[in-house]
């Protein structure tokens, strides 16, 4: 089914011949500006686009970086604050990729990672006006059969394709929506001025919120009349590398789970609050549906997940639903103010502990975030939750200091979707600043963006189309099947995974490779170079912060 090679792999494996690692989008004028070198040099220069030397410095030895597996030096040019396009140059003539120093330096990247959701829309087709060369026909428009009772066929079109595959999974969708909706809540001005050239652009609401409706409306279709929510909507197995409209295999609705139901209750309640000022009717509908799912949760207090092995698409299994129920209780408490939900939330506190996670596997951080932003509830709980964010941020900041790349991941954490962890850690640090009324962690959060956009030992920007050298061959079916050389922009790659969890990664990357280098920009390597909606969504959040 896989093995999609249509380029020279050997060439690509040896492309990494750079010795200067910088953020290829660039740096904000007043923030720290660091590059990393993996060769010794007496000095470095920063050159502008007219060829003038604008800054001279001396690289400082940072020691052996265990995550990169080599000796590295830091080149600090923070003092250079003038707007411009630059590159670094070493005495031997080697030059880095280009980058900018300016306000709103991540504007284009933010627009691209946000528009990525439009390119992933399902059921509607993408027209030339909005998708350009990436247009394609309507996909996945057939009715879906209930897996456990094929006599029932339901209409559940819409939403976003999850990832490189064409599946649509509820917990993943709710997770991505939560990141996007909280990004809007915290940085509304950034999105109010955004124009993405999507069909709804120029309408009554910001493009981001128009885009979120696509997934919210689909989530409501995944809801049964009794409030339970189907776990996923996919074909029986993954499609081959074909365009979405060519994937006409039968669609199925897989059995409801308590995680999908809780996440739906939570995210619909959150959305109800966000849309309340823009569209009262829609906001009411969202709340009504959130309450419907919540009432199912109340009458079904046990963990429910019935994985069907014969359906081989993504499992998104979890071992417990405490965090999901906690998040739902918190969002419903915030929007309704009813003490009942407060009591439910408190009952989950012990299970949740100190976690401030934001991933589909652990939504605890979202429940705490909802509570903290609302300003309601008990003072002691608010103090506890904000202390959790700050303690987590302290640990992450300490890890950022461990190694020259400023990356918040420890050696063991470079697993499947490591770039999501990098970005999610940046979210935690930005929120810790907010809750502690400091700017202590912002600089560390910025380093996560720098790492993502090229200040890493492979010198690669993990966001397609962002920077001179970015990923071009993600494990994303249309990118392979559309026959177009150019990659769809704004796609966030999963990133290095030391566990080489797919056969192609195992074949292509030598065992013992340093964690940060366990990556190849290859269509086949789904455990390294896939994209997903919930890896793009934290990028939207963090980039919005640095554009605000
Ligand atoms: O993101 C998921 C990752 O955390 C898991 O380790 C991996 C294996 O179970 O699955 C990932 O999710 C995939 C999902 O199952 C199907 N769509 C693509 C997702 C990203 O690879
Ligand atoms: Zn589709």
Q: What is the mean pLDDT of each run of 10 residues along the chain (548 residues)?
A: 68 72 98 98 98 98 96 98 98 97 98 98 97 98 98 98 98 98 98 98 97 98 98 97 97 98 99 97 98 98 96 96 98 98 98 97 98 96 98 98 97 98 98 97 98 97 97 96 95 98 93 95 96 98 97
**Cα 548 from Cα 112, distance rounded (Å):** 16
**Cα 432 from Cα 304, distance rounded (Å):** 33
Mutation choice for ligand 1 from 120, 159, 160, 163, CB with most ligand atoms inside 8 A: 163
Give the pLDDT of residue 234: 98
Give the pLDDT of residue 1: 54
CA of 236 to the centre of ligand 2 (A): 15
**Cα 131 from Cα 313, distance rounded (Å):** 27
142, two tokens: 């057939």
Give the pLDDT of residue 2: 63
**Cα 225 from Cα 221, distance rounded (Å):** 10
Give the pLDDT of residue 53: 98
CA of 306 to the centre of ligand 1 (A): 18
In this structure, the strands spanning 99-101 and 26-27 are parallel
CA atoms within 13 A on the CB side of 123: 20
Domains present along the chain, CATH in parentheses: 125-371 (1.50.10.10)
Give the pLDDT of residue 293: 99
Give the pLDDT of residue 14: 52
Residues taking part in catalysis = 165, 475, 521, 530
Q: What pTM was estimated for this model as a whole?
A: 0.98
Q: 125 and 158 in contact (C-beta within 8 Å)? A: no
Q: 77 and 53 in contact (C-beta within 8 Å)? A: no
Give the pLDDT of residue 8: 74
Give the pLDDT of residue 9: 73
CA of 314 to the centre of ligand 1 (A): 6
Which ligand has the minimum distance to the alpha carbon of residue 173? 1
429, two tokens: 């640090």
Q: 170 and 229 in contact (C-beta within 8 Å)? A: yes
**Cα 154 from Cα 413, distance rounded (Å):** 40
CA nearest to 356, candidates 256, 251, 428:
428
137, two tokens: 């026909």
Which ligand has the minimum distance to the alpha carbon of residue 362? 1
Alpha helices in 21-151 (DSSP H): 107-119, 128-131
Pocket, ligand 1, Cβ cutoff 6 A: 162-163, 165, 167, 314, 316, 416-417, 526, 530, 532
Give the pLDDT of residue 11: 66
Radius of gyration of the chain measured on its C-alpha atoms: 23
Whose C-alpha lies nearest to ligand 1, atom 6?
416
């Amino acid at each position: 089914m896989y093995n999609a090679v249509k380029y020279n792999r050997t060439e690509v494996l040896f492309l990494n011949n750079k010795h200067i690692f910088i953020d290829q989008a660039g740096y904000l004028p007043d923030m720290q500006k660091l590059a990393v070198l993996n060769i010794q040099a007496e000095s470095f220069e920063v050159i502008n686009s007219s060829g003038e030397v604008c800054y001279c410095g001396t690289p400082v030895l940072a020691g052996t970086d265990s995550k990169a597996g080599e000796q590295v030096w830091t080149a600090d040019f923070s003092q250079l604050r003038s707007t411009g396009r630059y590159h670094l140059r070493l005495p031997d003539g080697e030059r880095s990729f280009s980058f900018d120093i300016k306000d709103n330096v991540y504007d284009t990247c933010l627009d691209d990672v946000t528009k990525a959701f439009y390119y992933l829309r399902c059921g509607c087709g993408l027209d030339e006006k909005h998708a350009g060369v990436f247009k394609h026909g309507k996909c996945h428009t057939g009715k879906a059969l209930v897996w456990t009772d094929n006599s029932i066929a339901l209409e559940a079109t819409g939403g976003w394709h999850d990832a490189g595959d064409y599946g649509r999974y509820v917990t993943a969708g709710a997770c991505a929506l939560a990141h996007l909706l909280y990004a809007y809540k915290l940085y509304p001005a950034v999105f109010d001025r955004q124009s993405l050239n999507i069909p709804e652009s120029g309408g009554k609401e910001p493009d981001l919120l128009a885009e979120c409706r696509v997934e919210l409306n689909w989530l409501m279709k995944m809801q049964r009349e009794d409030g339970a929510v189907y776990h996923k909507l996919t074909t029986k197995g993954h499609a081959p590398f074909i365009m979405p409209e060519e994937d006409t295999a039968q669609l199925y609705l897989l059995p409801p789970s308590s995680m999908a139901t809780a996440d739906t209750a939570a995210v619909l309640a959150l959305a109800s609050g966000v849309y309340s000022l823009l569209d009262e009717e829609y906001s009411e509908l969202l709340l009504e549906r959130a309450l419907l799912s919540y009432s199912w949760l109340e009458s079904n207090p046990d963990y429910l997940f019935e994985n069907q092995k014969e359906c081989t698409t993504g499992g998104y299994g979890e071992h417990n639903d405490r965090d999901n129920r906690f998040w739902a209780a918190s969002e419903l408490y915030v929007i309704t103010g009813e003490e009942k939900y407060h009591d439910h939330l408190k009952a989950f506190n012990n299970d949740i502990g100190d976690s401030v996670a934001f991933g589909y596997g652990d939504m605890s951080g979202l429940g705490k975030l909802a509570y903290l932003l609302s300003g309601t509830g008990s003072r002691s709980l608010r103090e506890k939750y904000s202390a959790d964010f700050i303690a987590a941020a302290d640990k992450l900041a300490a890890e950022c200091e461990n190694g020259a790349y400023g990356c918040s991941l420890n050696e063991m954490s470079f697993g499947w979707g490591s770039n999501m962890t990098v970005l999610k850690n940046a979210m935690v640090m930005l929120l810790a600043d907010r809750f502690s009324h400091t700017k202590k962690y912002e600089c560390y959060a910025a380093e996560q963006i720098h790492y993502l956009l090229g200040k890493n030992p492979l010198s690669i920007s993990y966001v397609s189309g962002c920077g001179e050298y970015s990923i071009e061959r993600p494990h994303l079916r249309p990118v392979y099947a559309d026959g177009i050389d150019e990659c769809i922009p704004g796609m966030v790659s999963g990133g290095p995974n030391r566990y080489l969890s797919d056969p192609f990664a195992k074949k292509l990357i030598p065992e013992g490779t340093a964690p940060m280098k366990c990556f190849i920009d290859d269509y086949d390597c789904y455990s390294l170079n896939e994209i997903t909606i919930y890896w793009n969504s934290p990028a939207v959040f963090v980039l919005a912060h640095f554009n605000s």
